[in-house]
Amino acid sequence: MSRAVHLDGITKRFPGVVANDEVDLTVERGTVHALLGENGAGKTTLMNVLYGLYQPDEGRVVVDGEARQFDSPRDAIDAGVGMIHQHFMLVDPMTVAENITLGNEPRKLLGLTVDRERADREVRELADRYGFDVDPTAIVEDIGVGVQQRVEILKALYRGADVLILDEPTAVLTPQEVADLFSVFEELTAQGKTIIFITHKLGEAMTAADEITVLRGGENVGVVDADAVTREELAELMVGREVLLDVDRRPADVGEERLRVADLSVEDSRGVRAVDDVSFSVRAGEVFGIAGVDGNGQSELVEAITGLRGVQSGGVALDRTDVTDASRRDRIEAGMAYIPEDRQERGLVMDFDLVSNGLLGSQHSRPYASAGRIDWAQTRDHAESIVEEYDVRPPDADATAADLSGGNQQKFVVGRELARDPSVLVASHPTRGVDVGSMEFIHDRIDALRAAGVGVLLVSSKLDEVTSLSDRLGVMYEGELVDVVDPDAVTEEELGLLMAGERPDDVSRVTPTDGGTDR
């Protein structure tokens, strides 16, 4: 088997950071190769070098046995390398065929006019060749995310790509769409194409790849056969130590109602209803999880519950007190902690140091403030304790939030919110961007709060996270809570159907106001 790609000693530096440190990578033609590692490990940087977005400071890029110098993505495309980014680069009002042929349109009348019929025909033939169910005449904004991803793949194939790089390709897909994508991988490799996909998800790397290269701290720490490695071994390669991957849940007694959401409807920033008549409760000593593909109303629901967005109708009660119209500050003082979905937009002031960021939400409360004066010594001790307990790096309370990587910003926000001694925790994507070891730690802390009688509302797009931590699990689709199920009994396939708006007849349900399932 011949090499499709060989990266030899690639080093890429940015100010103060060595993103890739003499990285070697070999990918055989006609295979699927996973590039695995946590955020900040250097995966995307390495692939941006291969795609010509970055030029290496040291090392060689070899494609099809020939050393190449890619000064731009156009050079990479001309050499048969295409990249599908995590955030799709499609023009929504245009058709599928128009997007795929954009910049390379077939023409007629001496090149003066785009030949739309020929474009549709060529795209249909290309889709049929690879078994893609894609309508060339469909408008992109009217098709699902999974189909949009196929359009991106077809766009690269239309330009002659033999090597396809996909950056976190499953981030916004349902389980069924993930399975469909992996079937696409099989079809492409069967026809001689080579796939490199970037991921931090162990299971997906093991399922879809032939070989896995693991990056840690910008270095290649191992290349393994996907069929001959365990999740535990991969996690240890990624983090550098043994990691407990499964949540060891503590026993907990379900108690009184902590949070009630009743007939809640919320509009998004465009005035469109994003949450439609949603009701559920969260009791002391339980985790109520909400699963769903991002963009189905979860963000607006959480913002309404935490006081960051007004409601159109319905209400929110905290410990049986109506807080529908209460401010964010009032809700904090009433016992609600909040881990936001967007740490930079909602959780931190990026130019503030960690001492000041640790104070946010508590600047009017004891022991950090009294009679309008802030106790900065107490505030500093608080920030330093978060930094130490949550292994925030750099371990410097005087560092600004902007000085931290995304994962370390997340750890600091989580530490601050869990330190509030809440009666209710609203956690929206609490482990987004953190490494496997930190994920283990955060999961353990959330479960400890649950066991101590806190009511936890957990919103996450990670199915393994939300099913392993939750006592009951709601699924949102197009702003509605379409079902509440037992996470121990429901299958991933059933969840995927619910996330896509379908209702399996035999799914194991629990009632929305049930206090939880026995464990």
Q: 300-328 pLDDT, tens per residue?
A: 999 999 999 999 999 999 999 999 999 99
pLDDT at 441 (0 to 100): 84
Q: Are residues 113 and 58 in the same domain?
A: yes
- Residue 123 domain-assigned? yes
Q: Which of 239, 273, 300 is the last residue of a domain?
A: 239
382-414 pLDDT, tens digit per residue, is: 999 999 998 887 889 999 998 887 778 888 999
Task: Calculate what percentage of the chain has a pLDDT beyond 70.
Answer: 95
Q: What integer is the mean pLDDT of 323-347?
A: 93
Q: Are residues 212 and 280 in the same domain?
A: no
Q: Are residues 86 and 123 in the same domain?
A: yes
Q: Are residues 184 and 264 in the same domain?
A: no
Which of 221, 249, 265 lies closest to 478, judged by CA? 265
Place of tokens 């699924």: 475
Q: How many distinct structural domains can be found in the chain? A: 2
Which of 140, 6, 124 lies closest to 63, judged by CA? 6
Q: Are residues 40 and 161 in the same domain?
A: yes
pTM of the model: 0.69
User: Mean pLDDT score of the chain, rounded to an integer?
Assistant: 90
Q: Are residues 68 and 179 in the same domain?
A: yes
Where is pLDDT greater, at 257 or 293? 257
Radius of gyration of the chain (CA): 25
**Residue 518 pLDDT greater than 50, yes or no:** no
- Residue 163 domain-assigned? yes
- Residue 101 domain-assigned? yes
CATH number for the domain that contains residue 127: 3.40.50.300
E strand intervals along 347-448: 369-370, 373-374, 424-428
**Residue 112 pLDDT greater than 90, yes or no:** no
Q: Which of the 8 DSSP states describes residue 490?
A: -
Q: Are residues 195 and 61 in the same domain?
A: yes
Q: Are residues 209 and 276 in the same domain?
A: no
Distance CA 71, CA 290 (A): 45
Q: Are residues 50 and 161 in the same domain?
A: yes
- Residue 444 domain-assigned? no
Q: Are residues 299 and 201 in the same domain?
A: no
Q: What integer is the mean pLDDT of 270-284?
A: 95
Q: Which of 239, 267, 298 is the last residue of a domain?
A: 239
Place of tokens 């003499």: 22
Angle at 416 between CA 411 and CA 422, to 5 degrees: 125
Q: Are residues 69 and 108 in the same domain?
A: yes
Tell me the three state secondary structure of residue 321: strand
What tokens appear for 386 in the block?
Answer: 């978060």
What tokens appear for 199 in the block?
Answer: 């991921």
Q: What integer is the mean pLDDT of 106-120?
A: 86
**Residue 506 pLDDT greater than 70, yes or no:** no
- Residue 124 domain-assigned? yes
**Residue 514 pLDDT greater than 80, yes or no:** no
**Residue 513 pLDDT greater than 50, yes or no:** no
- Residue 346 domain-assigned? no
Place of tokens 């680069």: 89
Where is pLDDT greater, at 25 or 505? 25
Distance CA 402, CA 224 (A): 35
- Residue 369 domain-assigned? no
- Residue 381 domain-assigned? no
Q: Which of 214, 239, 264 is the last residue of a domain?
A: 239
Q: What integer is the mean pLDDT of 174-202?
A: 89
Which domain, by its residues, includes 74? 3-239
**Residue 516 pLDDT greater than 60, yes or no:** no
Give the model's confidence band at 33: pLDDT under 50 very low, under 70 low, under 90 confident, else very high: very high
Give the model's confidence band at 509: pLDDT under 50 very low, under 70 low, under 90 confident, else very high: low
126-149 pLDDT, tens digit per residue, is: 999 888 889 999 999 888 888 899
Q: Are residues 190 and 327 in the same domain?
A: no
